[in-house]
């Protein structure tokens, strides 16, 4: 059966489809990319680390050979085994919820989404493991039913094998559709290759998505629910080449990160700016910071309020000022306290408030996480080939906008948030820190401290 049997998706009318049901494939159909390797690689790295990513990369040539010379299910089974074998199913679900949506949403095919979003009922048939894709499809695309490959598990861990009926490809997709819909016939079926034809023939209308890798993806504002939170360590979607470069860079990057952290922790603060510059870390300072307080004449210090991009905000603020300043912290890891070149203190209220808009730029690794060990955050940031931080000092808050003028602490905090957001061209939301951690890690973000001989330190911004 040739592709010409079905018309292209561009010919599908999308108006008046509110009462219709659409059934679509995922890779190459809803998504522009036809390869699922990058998403398997994200799960491999986020759950299993660099060694698991290396295993997947080594297995991918075998998967490719089986895909083209044996069968599509055989190739996919190799990717599933190399990625999932031995992993906790809950960890896979966590990555699927907190990491994959950002990358999936940046690859949505505009023509497929035009038709898919126009229909009142939406179903996705995919060879991908359902546990990998269901969170994104249901939470962010409003999909009603996800039919995908079911991975095997034993005592909460994935076996790397798949349950019956196996990898959902070809006739197995058609069988799954029949089982789910019975005698009902969906109005639209959308696919991108001949193995999708069996389920498309069960629909009243069938459309093919032609391969066009250069087509622009759907923008985030067109989604029913925008992607706000993201918790992945990797900045770029890991193609096989990018995965190889990441694996080769990590040993070099870790040594470089140790050197950069040592420079920030051991050198006098006025020299840290120049040491960072020599080691490839760029710090850009904008605005005019207030001068140090003169305690001899009774001046009180100011409280710098940062946008809290990473745990390193206070370090780079000190670098920009050329002097160490104490940081108010909360739920910080013990390792972060040990390697910090500045001290942490309890917050004393003050009306001398200076907002600081901070932006960091990373090309390979994100320097923050909600699910993983926070102690590695500084290392991941400094493992980037050339990380950058921009520190912009804003105007000090007028006294009439502070607590001493009758404003509540929430009003002051929300005002400062709006000022920083406007400076950075961000849009404020009503989400709290607890909302973020609930969405990404399934907890409220509070670290339970173990008893120590000395008193615990309070964390803040």
Q: Is the pLDDT of residue 293 over 80?
A: no
Percent of the chain with pLDDT over 90: 64
CA 373 to CA 380: how far, in whole Å?
Answer: 11
CA 29 to CA 31: how far, in whole Å?
Answer: 5
Mean of pLDDT values over 303-326: 86
**CATH 3.40.50.1000 domain residues, the chain:** 19-213
Q: What angle do CA 397, 301, 286 make, to 5 degrees?
A: 55
Q: Is the pLDDT of residue 337 over 60?
A: no
Mean of pLDDT values over 396-425: 87
345 against 224, higher pLDDT: 224
46 against 3, higher pLDDT: 46
Say if residues 111 and 10 touch (Cβ distance below 8 Å): yes
Stated as kind and residue range, the H or E segment containing 244 is helix 240-266
Reported as a single tens digit per residue, the pLDDT across 352-379 is: 889 999 999 999 999 888 777 788 899 9
Neighbouring CB atoms inside 10 A of 190's CB total: 29
- Token pair 């994104």 in the structure block, residue: 136
CA distances from 214 to 109, 113, 211, 217, 237 (A): 10, 16, 9, 9, 16
> Cα-flanking dihedrals φ and ψ of residue 26, to 5°?
-105, -75
CA 62 to CA 254: how far, in whole Å?
Answer: 30
Reported as a single tens digit per residue, the pLDDT across 73-83 is: 999 999 999 99
Say if residues 105 and 227 touch (Cβ distance below 8 Å): yes
Residue 12, CB half-sphere, CA atoms under 13 Å: how many?
Answer: 28
Going by their DSSP bridges, the two strands 151-154 and 353-361 should be labelled as unpaired
Helices (H), 119-163: 130-140
Sign of CA dihedral 7, 10, 11, 16: positive
Say if residues 113 and 222 touch (Cβ distance below 8 Å): yes
DSSP label at 307?
-
Banded model confidence at residue 8, pLDDT cuts 50, 70, 90: very high
Q: Is the pLDDT of residue 295 over 80?
A: no
Q: Is the pLDDT of residue 1 over 50?
A: no
Residues near 323 by beta carbon (within 8 Å), at least 6 away in sequence: 269, 270, 292
CA 212 to CA 194: how far, in whole Å?
Answer: 17
Q: Is the pLDDT of residue 197 over 80?
A: yes
Domain spanning 19-213: which CATH class is it, in words? alpha beta
Stated as kind and residue range, the H or E segment containing 100 is helix 100-105
Residue 378, CB half-sphere, CA atoms under 13 Å: how many?
Answer: 25
DSSP label at 156?
T
Mean of pLDDT values over 382-405: 91
Banded model confidence at residue 229, pLDDT cuts 50, 70, 90: confident
CA 44 to CA 63: how far, in whole Å?
Answer: 16
- Token pair 């694996």 in the structure block, residue: 247
Q: Is the pLDDT of residue 93 over 80?
A: yes
Q: Is the pLDDT of residue 425 over 50?
A: yes
CA 261 to CA 442: how far, in whole Å?
Answer: 31
Say if residues 389 and 282 touch (Cβ distance below 8 Å): yes
User: Considering the entire predicted model, what is its pTM?
Assistant: 0.87
């Amino acid at each position: 059966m040739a592709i010409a049997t079905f018309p292209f998706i561009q010919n599908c009318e999308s108006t008046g489809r509110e009462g219709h049901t659409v059934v679509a494939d995922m890779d190459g159909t809803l998504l522009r990319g036809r390869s699922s390797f990058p998403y398997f690689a994200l799960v491999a790295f986020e759950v299993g680390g660099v060694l698991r990513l290396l295993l997947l990369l080594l297995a991918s040539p075998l998967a490719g050979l089986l895909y083209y010379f044996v069968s599509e299910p055989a190739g996919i089974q190799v990717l599933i085994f190399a990625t999932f074998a031995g992993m906790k199913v809950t960890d896979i679900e966590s990555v699927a919820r907190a990491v994959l949506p950002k990358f999936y949403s940046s690859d949505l095919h505009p023509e497929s989404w035009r038709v898919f979003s126009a229909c009142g009922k939406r179903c996705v048939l995919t060879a991908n493991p359902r546990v990998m894709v269901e969170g994104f499809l249901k939470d962010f695309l409003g999909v009603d039913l996800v039919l995908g490959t079911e991975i095997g598990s034993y005592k909460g861990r994935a076996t790397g094998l798949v349950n019956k009926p196996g990898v959902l490809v070809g006739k197995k997709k058609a069988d799954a559709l029949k089982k789910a819909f019975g005698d009902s016939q969906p109005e639209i079926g959308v696919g991108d290759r001949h193995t999708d034809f069996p389920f498309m023939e069960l629909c009243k209308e069938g459309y093919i998505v032609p391969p066009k890798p250069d087509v622009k993806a759907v923008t985030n504002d067109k989604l029913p629910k925008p992607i706000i939170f993201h918790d992945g360590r990797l900045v770029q979607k890991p193609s096989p080449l990018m995965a190889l470069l990441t694996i080769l860079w990590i040993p070099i990057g870790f040594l470089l990160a140790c050197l950069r952290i040592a420079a920030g922790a051991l050198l006098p603060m006025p020299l840290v700016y120049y040491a960072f510059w020599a080691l490839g870390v760029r710090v850009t300072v904008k605005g005019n910071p207030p001068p140090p307080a003169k305690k001899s004449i009774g001046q009180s210090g100011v409280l710098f309020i940062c946008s809290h991009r990473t745990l390193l905000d206070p370090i780079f603020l000190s670098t920009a000022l050329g002097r160490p300043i104490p940081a108010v912290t909360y739920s910080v890891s013990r390792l972060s306290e040990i390697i910090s070149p500045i001290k942490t203190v309890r917050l004393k209220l003050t009306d001398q408030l200076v907002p600081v808009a901070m932006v960091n730029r990373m090309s390979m690794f994100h320097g923050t996480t909600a699910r993983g060990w926070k102690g590695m955050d500084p290392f991941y940031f400094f493992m980037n080939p050339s990380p950058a931080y921009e520190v912009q000092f804003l105007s000090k808050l007028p006294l009439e906008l502070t607590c001493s003028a009758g404003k509540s602490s929430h009003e002051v905090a929300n005002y400062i948030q709006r000022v920083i957001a406007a400076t950075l061209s961000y849009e404020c939301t009503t989400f709290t820190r607890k909302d973020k951690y609930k969405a990404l890690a399934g907890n409220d973000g509070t670290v339970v401290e173990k008893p120590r001989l000395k008193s615990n330190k309070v964390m803040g911004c």
